[in-house]
Amino acid sequence: MIGNEIVARCLTMHGVDIAFYLMGAPMLDCEAECERIGMRMIDVRHEQAAPMMATAYARLRRRPAACMAASGPGVMNLVTGVANAFADGTPVIVLGGASPVFQSGMGAFQEVDQLSVFRPITRWSERCYQAERLPEYFHYAFEHALGSAPGPVYLDLPGDVLYANVDEAAIQWMEVPSRWPRPQGDPESIDRALDMMKAAERPVLLSGSGILWSEAEAELRQFVERSGIPFYATPQGRGAIPEAHDLSFLGARSEAFGGTDLIVLAASRQNYVSEFTRPPRWNKDAKLVQIDIDAHQIGRNRPADVGIVGDAGAVLRQLLERDRGHFAPGRYAAWTGHLEAAHEAKARMQEERQASDAMPIHPLRLCREVREFLSDDAVLCVDGQEILTYARQSIPFQRPHSLNSGPFGCMGVGLPLALGAKVARPEATVLVLHGDGSFGINAMELDTAVRHDIPIVCVISNNAGWTAQQEGEKVSGQHLGFTRYDEMFEALGCYGEMVEDPNDIRPALERALASGRPAVVNVMVDPTARGMSTQFTRYET
């Protein structure tokens, strides 16, 4: 067998049915072989988009997806998307062509130390030197991608390995696991956690995307409903429980975090997204119960009073099974009543701007139109600054289909995520809500959408620049102008429409979806509207 054939067979043996790539040597025949044996191959316009598309596909299908690039500059262009997948904890199999081993250190064509680049942004990175050992390397790659800390992995593939001709009898094929381990938590820690919940008066549950990889949505909902604990989710974990639930109080997030006396952190890291679970965002006197499959995350940034290492689904089942009357009905009624009142007051404040007919259009009105247009089962991707803030505040999720810039804060992900999502769920409506600045970063992937017939709806919240413009404020490089993106991409074969009147948004969205083509709805919004959100970056101590 040729090395290229072994690579393709290894991918399909591990259940990979799709790869996102940009053609180039030495990967050309590898990509052709993948296509020959039945994998769907989607070529992009910039390598950065390939791992972003793979990230969306992996998240929605709950299985790894692959991306590939040619040696040197091609592999370097993967870095941003791979770093985003790493921060997001998404299993993406990254394959990079490399200059041949026999020319190593000689200044070969496109020679660069690719392993050193990828090691800090992957769960595992290695180079294969012998084609007959490729199955072994793929086994380790998938083991790390789906292990205790899911994430991307990188395999460096020198050209002379890919084109090596080896005796098939010498190839050591590895057995593919039927399922990956789902470890349970320590029973004593489970009991201690239950005792803390019984003693608490104002508990809050915060869950993350680990719930999705554990496929623990049902257990999470059962736990919330049995316990009566109000719940919140990180942006990447939203919709694991429908946010129309009686114990969801999205508008009272600050009151919940600041007033809680017990934090139950389930399958979510203590990073900037949750303000490290530290004061002033969180009550300094609150106790912390933390559940995570990765032992290294327990007590990071804020010490855990009870740390439970285990699969989220398995641990939640343990909590439910070992409950012996800890959760009395109505136990937290006073607390949830307080949060409900705060939530409703915030919602009333938002209603006026969401219903505004003002021109230029307020971004909250755009968000309302998008929210009312989409079904609960649709996929929404959001990318930008102002529009991302407004969308998080005003668009609830009823399914775990939330895709956005994620914990890496990476702009430009929106369109690639939407394309990967549509490929993963072709029956669903997929809409990306973009800022005009972030849209421009990977805008040419609309050409990918046209060529591969991937009909997504791209809505641009066009405020003519990066961030909102404030009178008297000068920000270098801020202004972009009200560009006619709809006309630009009509030339590529997309459906295009510009909207200036808020009452025209919904009809435009309906026409875009009905077109059956990749569509651009270019909405001119108020350039001075600034979304208020938690300040994630602080540069002074």
Q: Is the pLDDT of residue 538 over 60?
A: no
Q: What are the strands of the beta sheet with 65-69, ordered from one edge?
A: 40-43, 18-21, 65-69, 92-98, 153-158, 124-127
Q: Cα separation of 233 and 210, whole Å?
A: 11
Please report the pLDDT score of residue 423 as a whole number: 98
**pLDDT-based confidence at residue 348 (cuts at 50, 70, 90):** confident
Residue pLDDT, tens place only, 351-405? 877 888 899 999 999 999 999 999 989 999 999 989 999 998 899 988 888 899 8
**What is the value of pTM for the model shown?**
0.94
Residue pLDDT, tens place only, 488-508? 999 999 999 999 999 999 999
Those residues with Cβ within 8 angstroms of residue 369's Cβ, 6 or more apart along the chain or in another chain: 502, 505, 506, 509
Tokens 């600041």 sit at which residue? 258
Residue pLDDT, tens place only, 228-253? 999 999 988 999 999 999 999 999 99
Residue 140 CB: number of other CB atoms within 10 A?
15
Q: Cα separation of 100 and 443, whole Å?
A: 34
List domains and CATH numbers for the chain: 3-170 (3.40.50.970), 187-340 (3.40.50.1220), 355-524 (3.40.50.970)
Cα 97 to chain centroid, rounded = 26
Express as a percent the part of the chain with pLDDT over 90. 80
Average pLDDT over residues 478-494: 93
How many angstroms separate the first and last alpha carbons of the chain? 59
Average pLDDT over residues 109-133: 94
